[in-house]
């Protein structure tokens, strides 16, 4: 397969993985997915990877003494596949600084909130509890600050009066599946980079710094 060599990390059901696989198969997203790795043996996404004929691996974090040992092993497994990009697609582990700096500029994550709002877990429940009118998803470069790396793209959804965490999550997820393949395409085409400008990390697309305040509205895709 042609395309940018990459490795995808998952922990669960793998719907973002599925969206990426679909974009590769049907929309010519230029990625050469060399491996899918899960830290949970029961992750449903592993089955999708196998069905797509991709090498899949389980590295069960519960079998490791500490985060550093797990991350070291994970790094070794990833690097065997020589990726130019490591994609976190619902990977639910905090990664150590050493790991993150090893992949600086080639590690991308999707988070189910409009960062910097609601980093961490249970974002939909917390968004409802906070009474926000807008919620969404963020694709960002991963840096040492957890959920704090430079934003690449955000997609907003309006919060409805009748929303539960599940209905809100479903609308956000649909946006995730739309924006993640788009961002990965930019990266694979060499248009997107992590750069330092005036002492801060910035996501740069086609030579222009993407500001965190540039939200994408539903249905809009910035080219």
C-alpha dihedral sign at 68, 72, 77, 82: positive
Residue with tokens 């070794």: 76
DSSP 17-80: HHHHHHHHHHH---EEEEEEEESSTT-THHHHHHHTT--EEE--GGGSSSHHHHHHHHHHHHHT
Q: Is 111 in the site for ligand GRF (CB under 6 A)?
A: yes
When asked if residue 48 is in the footprint of ligand GRF (CB under 6 A), the reply is no
Which one of 106-114, 183-191, 199-207, 209-217 is the stretch in contact with ligand GRF (CB under 6 A)? 106-114
What's the token pair of residue 209?
């710094």
Residue among 83, 112, 136, 181 that touches ligand GRF (CB under 6 A): 112
The answer to whether the CB of 215 falls within 8 A of the CB of 117 is no
Candidates 48-56, 94-102, 110-118, 197-205; binding stretch for ligand GRF (CB under 6 A): 110-118
| Residue 111 annotated in active site | yes
For ligand GRF, give the closer residue by CB, 117 or 209. Answer: 117
Residue whose C-beta lies closest to ligand GRF: 90
Out of 61, 81, 102, 111, which one is annotated catalytic? Answer: 111
Write out the residues near ligand GRF by the rule CB under 6 A.
10, 12-16, 45, 89-90, 110-112, 173, 176
**Positions marked catalytic:** 111
């Amino acid at each position: 397969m042609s395309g940018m060599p990459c490795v995808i990390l998952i922990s669960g059901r793998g719907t973002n993985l599925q969206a990426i696989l679909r974009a590769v198969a049907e929309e010519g997203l230029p990625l050469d997915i060399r491996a899918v790795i899960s830290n949970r043996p029961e992750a449903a996404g592993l089955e999708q990877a196998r069905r797509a004929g991709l090498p899949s691996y389980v590295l069960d974090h519960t079998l490791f003494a500490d985060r550093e040992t797990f991350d070291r092993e994970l790094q070794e497994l990833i690097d065997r596949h020589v990726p130019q990009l490591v994609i976190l697609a619902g990977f639910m582990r905090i990664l150590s600084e050493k790991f993150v700096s090893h992949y600086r500029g080639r590690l991308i994550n999707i988070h189910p909130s409009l960062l910097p709002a609601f980093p961490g877990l249970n974002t939909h429940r917390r968004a409802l509890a906070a009474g926000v009118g807008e919620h969404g998803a963020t694709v960002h470069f991963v840096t040492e600050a957890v959920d704090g790396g430079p934003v690449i793209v955000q997609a907003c959804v309006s919060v409805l009066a009748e929303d539960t965490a599940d209905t809100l999550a479903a609308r956000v997820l649909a946006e995730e599946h739309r924006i993640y393949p788009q961002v990965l395409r930019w990266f694979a085409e060499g248009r997107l980079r992590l750069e330092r400008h005036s002492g801060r990390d910035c996501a740069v697309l086609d030579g222009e710094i993407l500001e965190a305040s540039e939200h994408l509205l539903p249905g809009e895709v910035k080219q």
